[in-house]
Structure formats: structure tokens, C-alpha cells
């Protein structure tokens, strides 16, 4: 079996001990997607187990159900009598250009508007395809990015390795961890059953990777307050990702919004953010200013394309990074397809999310020992390198199909109607993943602890 667990354990300074994995089969892919799901979730579980050992002297067992882990990398919610809105905008997707393929990401209205400023307004995909066809992919990618949009030319892995951004991100660590000088003296308020009880998480992340991290932390008892801009919405993922969280809105571009943010930050233990590399700094919140306002803060962030190189501030999403880094090209070759073939799930997002959660918990263990805060930086492109370098895998039997017994018994009363959740893919003995509140709408709570 492809070993993705060991490099993840090494990146997080976890003991290089095997974990218990159950269930056979894998998602269909040239890459080890099910192994990535299992290893990233398993490492997050191992970080929790090590925290509990540090605090109680007892090391709980950790087990990952590979099949459920694979399903959670797609979605965990099963609505009863209603539907989650579609994930993709009608014109988002892959298009043939004059010299190859390009992917347009138009889910956010302002990203679609940027693409249409370059290509012209369209009402449907066939029209967009005609507009894209005459362009060279690299020139169109650049034009859309310069217009404030999101696009990615399909490249092969060798081409990405030779690209200035590929060279930069591939030289970075999987998890860039640092310990801060500032200290705080907060005792562990948790228990084996709720190891993160009393921990306040200020979550500024959107879409998938960061929200996966904060959903996991909420499942262990953390108090997660998600903050969104006044007009931001992502209806296709909100029911999936707001489980266990309170969601408020703030405009950090106004003095009033900043005042509220600073009040929240003062009492936060964890700050999660997924803005472009220098966005918080431009708002006046450098790493040292964050620590000054909240001594001992654990500051964990991600971006799409890495923290160095010419694209460090480029907008990006999982599907675009798969195009840039050779994953969609490798899938196309593997399937002998005429079109780009991405991974069967948005595995870069989900895996990076669990690695963020594990980074939070490792930093919390450090803070409980020394009082010192810490930071960690991750990126979708660096997680892509981990997966690609593990190599192509032989085809494995398919996972057993989902069955009614895979859902928990509890009915979740979401903001849209009743739903079930899949059973958790991770078992930490004595510390069940359980969420205290159902999924809800963005902006449905006040911005306060």
C-alpha cells in the first residue's frame, strides 16, 4: 500500500507509528486518493490521541475507516426531502483552447464577472467554449488572473516541476510550523470525551479546506465562530461545512468591523485563515501584531499555490491546482481520455483541511507544555506534491457502495430541513467526534463568543 502516513507524521512531528485502518477498496484514480484521505484523517486523530496522552497519561487507540474517509472527502450530509444547491456555476469547467486545456472557476459572482470581462458575457457553456477556443491557454490564464478572476491552464507534472511556481512550492515543507515567542498561561479545559472544550476558534476560511479543519475541531468540542464578509455566499457547500459552528458576518474593511474582529481575536485561542498570502497584513494584522493582540495565539493558514514564488498571492481552488500541477493531465493519460480528468473528489482541499486541524492540535499541545503560541502554513499545491510523488497506483477494487447503515441515527435539524450525517470516519477511543449544533446559514449568529 502507498505510504502517505509517514511523511505526514514527519511533517507534524508525530510518532512514526502505524495506525489501524479498516475496510478495503479505493476511489478510482491513478493516484492514491483513498490513502490520502485515510492518512490525513488518521494523522489528525493521532494528534488528538497525543494531546490526550500528554494531559492524562493514557494513549487512546485510533482507527480510520478507509471507506467512510473516502465518502467524507466528497460529502457527509444526506438531506431528507430537500437538496443541497449545485456546487458549480453553469459555466465553470474545462475548455479547449487553441493549444490545450484551461479551467475557468466562476462559482463566485465576481470571479465569473472577471472571466466575462476578458471573454465576453455568456449565458451558457457552448457560448463560453466558442469564446475560449481562439485563445492560447497561457495567455488566457494570465488575462483572467489580471482581471481578478480564477483560471488554470492544464500542465503536466514535468511542466509544473519546471515552472517557477512549481519550483517554489515544491521546495516548501508540507507544513511550515513555527513556535512564537509570546506566551499565555491557559490550562487544559478539555476532557477525554471533549478534548477541545474551552478552545475558541476564530475561523476566517471559506469553501472547503479551512472549513474542513474547523468542522473537525468543532467535533472535538471547540467553540468555532466562522466570520464571513457581508455579501459572501457559497450555497453549494454551506450545509456540508457549517456543522457544529456559529456563523457571523463582519466587514474587515471598515473600522467598525476591525474593532469587533480585534475584540474577538483577543479571546481567541486559534485563528484559521485562507486569504491570499499578504491579505491580513494589508489589513494591518501582521504575525507579530496578531501575537501582540492575542499572546499565545495559534495561527494556522493556507493558500492555493504556496507561500513563496511568483504565484504566492494568486487566487486558486482545488480544481485549479489539480490542473496546474499535472494531476488532471495524469488522469487524462490514465483513462486515455480526450479531456482533463481530475481526482474523483476534491482531495487536495479535504486533505489540507485535516492537516490544518492536526497542525492546530500539535500547536495546542506545545502551548499547554510551554505556554508558547505557534503558527503553521499549508497550501493545496504542496499537498498536491505529496500525492503526486507517492506515484501512480494499481487499480484497486471499488469501495463497497454506501448503505443506510453508514448514516448516524441522529436527525440533524439543519436550517434547510432534516438531514442525516455519515458516521464519522475516525474513531478515537473515548473521544467520539460529535457536533453540538446543526449546519446553519452564513451570518445567522452575532459576532461574539
**Mode of pairing for the β-strands spanning 417-421 and 77-79:** antiparallel
Residue 21 CA: distances (Å) to CA of 41, 43, 63, 74, 425: 11, 12, 6, 19, 10
- Each residue of 340-356: pLDDT tens digit? 999 999 999 999 999 99
Average pLDDT, the chain: 96
H helices within 163-285, ranges in order? 164-170, 209-219, 238-241, 255-267, 279-282
Tens of pLDDT, residue by residue over 399-421, are: 999 999 999 999 999 999 999 99
User: How big is the CA angle at 379 (ends 267 and 392), to the nearest 5 degrees?
Assistant: 140
Confidence of residue 284 (pLDDT cuts 50, 70, 90): confident
Segment 362-402, tens digit of pLDDT: 999 999 999 999 999 999 999 999 999 999 999 899 999 99
Share of the chain above pLDDT 90, in %: 95
Q: How confident is the model at residue 280 (pLDDT cuts 50, 70, 90)?
A: confident
Q: Which of 24, 49, 28, 51 is nearest to 38 (CA)?
A: 24
Average pLDDT over residues 183-212: 96
pLDDT for residue 182: 86
pLDDT of 318 higher than 80 = yes
Q: What is the pLDDT of residue 134?
A: 98
Query: Considering all CA atoms of the chain, what is the largest pairwise distance in Å, rounded to the nearest integer?
Result: 65
Q: Which pLDDT score is estimated for 2?
A: 72
For the domain 1-449, what is the CATH code? 3.40.50.10540
Residue 198: its pLDDT value, please?
A: 97
Per-residue confidence (pLDDT) for residue 426, from 0 to 100: 98
**What percentage of the chain exceeds 70 in pLDDT?**
100
Residue 43 pLDDT > 60? yes
Taking alpha carbons only, the member of 401, 443, 403, 420 closest to residue 82 is: 420
Q: Where are the alpha helices (DSSP H) in 171-314?
A: 209-219, 238-241, 255-267, 279-282, 287-293
Q: Give the Cβ contact number of residue 425 at 10 Å.
A: 24
Cα 238 from Cα 217, distance rounded (Å): 17
Burial 331-364 (b: 16+ CB within 10 A, else e): bbeeeeeeebbbbbbbbbbbbbbbbbbbbbbbbb
Domain boundaries, the chain: 1-449
Q: How far apart are CA 348 and CA 343, in angstroms?
A: 9
Asked if the model's pLDDT at residue 277 lies above 80, the reply is no
> What average pLDDT does this structure show over 299-304?
96
Q: What is the mean pLDDT of residues 47-69?
A: 98
pLDDT confidence of residue 436: 96
Query: Model confidence over 230-249: pLDDT tens digits?
Result: 999 999 999 999 999 999 99
Looking at per-residue confidence, does 280 or 363 come out higher? 363
- Using 50, 70 and 90 to split pLDDT, how confident is the model at 1? low
**Distance (Å, rounded) from C-alpha 421 to C-alpha 413?**
11
Query: What mean pLDDT is predicted for residues 266-277?
Result: 91
* Confidence (pLDDT) at 251: 95
Amino acid at each position: 500500500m502507498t505510504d502517505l502516513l509517514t511523511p505526514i507524521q514527519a511533517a507534524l512531528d508525530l510518532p512514526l507509528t502505524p495506525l489501524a485502518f479498516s475496510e478495503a477498496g479505493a476511489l478510482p484514480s491513478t493516484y492514491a486518493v483513498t490513502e490520502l484521505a485515510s492518512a490525513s484523517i488518521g494523522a489528525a486523530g493521532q494528534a488528538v490521541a497525543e494531546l490526550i496522552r500528554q494531559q492524562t497519561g493514557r494513549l487512546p487507540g485510533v482507527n480510520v475507516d478507509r471507506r467512510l474517509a473516502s465518502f467524507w472527502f466528497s460529502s457527509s450530509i444526506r438531506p431528507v426531502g430537500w437538496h443541497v444547491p449545485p456546487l458549480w456555476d453553469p459555466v465553470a469547467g474545462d475548455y479547449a483552447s487553441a493549444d490545450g486545456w484551461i479551467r475557468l472557476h466562476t462559482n463566485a459572482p465576481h470571479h465569473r464577472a472577471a472571466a466575462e470581462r476578458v471573454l465576453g458575457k455568456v449565458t451558457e457553456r457552448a457560448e463560453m467554449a466558442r469564446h475560449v477556443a481562439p485563445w492560447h491557454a497561457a495567455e488566457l490564464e494570465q488575462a483572467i488572473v489580471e482581471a481578478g478572476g480564477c483560471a488554470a491552464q492544464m500542465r503536466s507534472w514535468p511542466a509544473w516541476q519546471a515552472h517557477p511556481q512549481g519550483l517554489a512550492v515544491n521546495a516548501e515543507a508540507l507544513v511550515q510550523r513555527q513556535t512564537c515567542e509570546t506566551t499565555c498561561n491557559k490550562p487544559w479545559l478539555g476532557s477525554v470525551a471533549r478534548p477541545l472544550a474551552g478552545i475558541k476558534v476564530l475561523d476566517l476560511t471559506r469553501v472547503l479546506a479551512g472549513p474542513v479543519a474547523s468542522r473537525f475541531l468543532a467535533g472535538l468540542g471547540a467553540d468555532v465562530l466562522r466570520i464571513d464578509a457581508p455579501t459572501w455566499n457559497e450555497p453549494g457547500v454551506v450545509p456540508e461545512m457549517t456543522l457544529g459552528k456559529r456563523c457571523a458576518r463582519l466587514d474587515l474593511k471598515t473600522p467598525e468591523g476591525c474593532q469587533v474582529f480585534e475584540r474577538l481575536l483577543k479571546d481567541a485561542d486559534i485563528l484559521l485563515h485562507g486569504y491570499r498570502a499578504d491579505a491580513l497584513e494589508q489589513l494591518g494584522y501582521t504575525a507579530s501584531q496578531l501575537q501582540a493582540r492575542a499572546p499565545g495565539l495559534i495561527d494556522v493558514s493556507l493558500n492555493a499555490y504556496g507561500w513563496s514564488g511568483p504565484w504566492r498571492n494568486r487566487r486558486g481552488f482545488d480544481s485549479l491546482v489539480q490542473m496546474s500541477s499535472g494531476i488532471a493531465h495524469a488522469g487524462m493519460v490514465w483513462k486515455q481520455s480526450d479531456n482533463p480528468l481530475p481526482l474523483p473528489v476534491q482531495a487536495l482541499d479535504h486533505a489540507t483541511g485535516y492537516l490544518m486541524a492536526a497542525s492546530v492540535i500539535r500547536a495546542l499541545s506545545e502551548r499547554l507544555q510551554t505556554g508558547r503560541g505557534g503558527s503553521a502554513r499549508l497550501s493545496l499545491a504542496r499537498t498536491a506534491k505529496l500525492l503526486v510523488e507517492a506515484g501512480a497506483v494499481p487499480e484497486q477494487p471499488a469501495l463497497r457502495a454506501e448503505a443506510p447503515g453508514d448514516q448516524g441515527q441522529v436527525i440533524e435539524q439543519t436550517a434547510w430541513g432534516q438531514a442525516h450525517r455519515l458516521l464519522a470516519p475516525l474513531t478515537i477511543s473515548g473521544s467520539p467526534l460529535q457536533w453540538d449544533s446543526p449546519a446553519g446559514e452564513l451570518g445567522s449568529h452575532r459576532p461574539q463568543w
